[in-house]
Amino acid sequence: MLEVHHVSRSFAQRLVLDDISFIVPSGALTGFVGANGAGKTTTMRIIMGLLNASSGHVSLNGSELSGDTRPNFGYMPEERGLYPKQPVIDQLLYLGQLHGITRAESRKRAMDLLARFGLEDRAKSKLESLSLGNQQRVQVAASLLHEPDVLILDEPFSGLDPLAVDAMSSILRDYAARGVPVLFSSHQLDLLDVLVDHLVIIQEGKILANSSADDLRASQASRHRLSLGADAGWLRDEPGVSVIDLSGSQALVNFESEADSQRVLAKALGLGTVSEFAVHRPSLADIYREII
Ligand SMILES: Nc1ncnc2c1ncn2[C@@H]1O[C@H](COP(=O)(O)OP(=O)(O)OP(=O)(O)O)[C@@H](O)[C@H]1O
């Protein structure tokens, strides 16, 4: 497990990370979400040792990481780092060499990764001749070439078409299934529900959530959606009910207890038609919006 402990960081007196702590569990996909400028990239750079924390530290499996050495981490930075004018395969072979992998093994791994992204026929193309989404796939392949034990990806899904999103999702899931802690940032909230096991939410340099996806969903389980035959405004005056959203005959509410939900259902039936009365499980995107 990767752990961020009480990390703070300022730039020119401005505090951009304020005593943040969270975990990236092994064997789980962890989504890292927050608005532009919330502090995601700064946090990832500190995890990678590319930037020093003003205070706090990062540990892996209980051992504090020090300086800028990281044992077999894979990182895809926000500013993509490959050379536009060089052929894709040459860059991957070069990276393999930097990681001490033999040329033959690097070629095998590179071609396997390119095949998974549907790019095996572009191996000899210059990077700049690929579409932006395909360049992105090559960047991810580059971060995976040395089969890292920890994976940190800054916006790996940005600019990808739906098929590439699926390919990327399946690769990240494979890594998590091997027991690797995987942290990725994303602004694509629709991906959270299908992908993440653990969610970290950051806002203005503070952590607002650091929970398993299941716990976050369970914390919202008492919510119900009601669709009545007439105006649902009376729900606002009911004890034991808090209205989250109400529009005409439709309402989204929280009941304090099961007894409250049954009493309100009986009252609604007494008043007229009830076409829907169902437990509503909010998506992680809904939960994110509410927390933010
Ligand atoms: N080198 C730097 N010098 C000064 N300020 C910086 C530096 N790097 C980041 N910041 C500031 O720190 C804050 C957090 O930036 P960061 O890039 O970590 O946010 P982010 O959550 O990754 O945003 P985005 O989603 O837009 O990529 C921002 O206000 C940014 O301007």
In angstroms, the CA 47 to CA 52 distance is 9
Is residue 266's pLDDT more than 90?
yes
Who wins on pLDDT, 69 or 32?
32
- What is the residue with the minimal CA distance to atom 13 of ligand 1? 37
**Cβ of residue 36 lying under 6 Å from some atom of ligand 1:** yes
* Whether residue 175 sits in one domain with residue 51: yes
- What is the residue with the minimal CA distance to atom 5 of ligand 1? 11
| Tokens 């990832």 sit on residue | 44
CB neighbourhood size of 202 (10 A) = 25
**Cβ of residue 10 lying under 6 Å from some atom of ligand 1:** no
* Whether residue 162 sits in one domain with residue 57: yes
* Whether residue 57 sits in one domain with residue 94: yes
Query: What pLDDT was estimated at residue 240?
Result: 94
**Cβ of residue 39 lying under 6 Å from some atom of ligand 1:** yes
* Whether residue 248 sits in one domain with residue 152: no
Instruction: Report the helix count and the strand count for the chain, using DSSP H and E.
Output: 9, 14
How far apart are the CA of 40 and the centre of ligand 1, in A?
8
Who wins on pLDDT, 105 or 281?
105
* Whether residue 275 sits in one domain with residue 224: yes
* Whether residue 102 sits in one domain with residue 64: yes
Is residue 68's pLDDT more than 70?
no
Q: Domain containing 234 — which CATH number?
A: 3.30.70.250
Residue 129 belongs to domain spanning: 2-213
Strands, E assignment, 115-160: 150-153
How far apart are the CA of 38 and the centre of ligand 1, in A?
7
| Average model confidence (pLDDT) across the chain | 91
The tens digit of pLDDT for each residue in 27-50 reads: 999 999 999 999 999 999 999 999
How far apart are the CA of 139 and the centre of ligand 1, in A?
21
Confidence of residue 78 (pLDDT cuts 50, 70, 90): confident
Percentage of the chain exceeding pLDDT 70: 98
* Whether residue 19 sits in one domain with residue 47: yes
* Whether residue 34 sits in one domain with residue 91: yes
Alpha-carbon separation of residue 253 from 47, 87, 240, 256, 282 (angstroms): 40, 56, 10, 10, 12
Which of 168, 183, 213 is the last residue in one of the domains?
Answer: 213
* Whether residue 132 sits in one domain with residue 175: yes
* Whether residue 183 sits in one domain with residue 165: yes
In angstroms, the CA 99 to CA 85 distance is 22
The tens digit of pLDDT for each residue in 194-209 reads: 899 999 999 999 999 9
Q: Domain containing 185 — which CATH number?
A: 3.40.50.300
CB 212 within 8 A of CB 57: no
In angstroms, the CA 284 to CA 223 distance is 14
The token duo for 263 is 């009493």
How far apart are the CA of 165 and the centre of ligand 1, in A?
25
The token duo for 52 is 């020093």
Complex ipTM, two decimals? 0.96
Nearest to 167 by CA among 231, 220, 113: 113
* Whether residue 202 sits in one domain with residue 225: no
Confidence of residue 221 (pLDDT cuts 50, 70, 90): low
Query: What are the φ/ψ torsions at residue 100 (nearest 5 degrees)?
Result: 75, 20
Query: What pLDDT was estimated at residue 159?
Result: 79
Output the pTM of the full model. 0.85
Confidence of residue 269 (pLDDT cuts 50, 70, 90): very high
Helix (H) or strand (E) holding 90: helix 88-98
The tens digit of pLDDT for each residue in 88-131 reads: 999 999 999 988 999 999 999 999 999 988 899 999 999 999 98
Count CA within 13 A, CB hemisphere, residue 169. Answer: 17
Tell me the mean pLDDT in the region 181-190: 92
